[in-house]
Amino acid sequence: ISEDFRDTIALWIPYSEIICSTPEFLNAGIYRVRISSVERQKEEGEEDQQDEQEEGKGLSKTFSLINVVERPTISKIFPINGPSTGGTIVSIIGNNFINSPDLFCRFANIRVAGKFINSTWIQRTSPPLSSIINTLPINVTITVTINNQDYTSY
């Protein structure tokens, strides 16, 4: 577990969650995540909400772990042709794929779960695209995510 702490800005959604981006790490690995709050300057006319904010000041005593992985890359997709009605098994070759419930492929703007074969190979059956395609032939961008947020394209 890395002791390399770096600050990042977070968005607090009252009473339920905090959303933040991971800083750019030099290496993949497991890192500790702790929350701290910094008191901001009140603007003129703003009411005092100190009682609600008092509890959250400072650095949390507990931490969570985050597993930072290498960004996946795509080096080859085959076959490169298929019917707009879908049903073609598409292989995506690359690096840094992981077996995750957040492994998805996106064909144009249609997201489908990816099938993990190994760290360099995933598969997916192409979805029907006829509802978003007006003219044929058309090139469709295929992208992959291992965290259901950041997509990598070919």
Q: Find all residues with CB under 8 Å of 105, minimum gap 6, and list them.
A: 90, 92, 111, 112, 113, 114, 122, 124, 142, 143, 144
Mean pLDDT, the chain, rounded, equals: 81
Could you give the percent of the chain with pLDDT greater than 70?
76
Q: What is the mean pLDDT of residues 47-55?
A: 47
pLDDT-based confidence at residue 9 (cuts at 50, 70, 90): confident
Q: What is the mean pLDDT of residues 20-31?
A: 77
pLDDT in tens, 115-135: 999 999 999 999 998 777 666
Tokens 């957040």 label which residue? 102
Task: Specify the pTM.
Answer: 0.69
Whether the pLDDT of residue 49 is over 70: the answer is no
**CA 47 to chain CA centroid, nearest Å:** 37
Within 10 angstroms of residue 105's Cβ, the number of other Cβ atoms is 24
Q: By C-alpha distance, which of 55, 46, 40, 31 is closest to 10?
A: 40
Tokens 């085959």 label which residue? 78
On whether the CB atoms of residues 36 and 59 are closer than 8 A, the answer is yes
pLDDT-based confidence at residue 89 (cuts at 50, 70, 90): very high
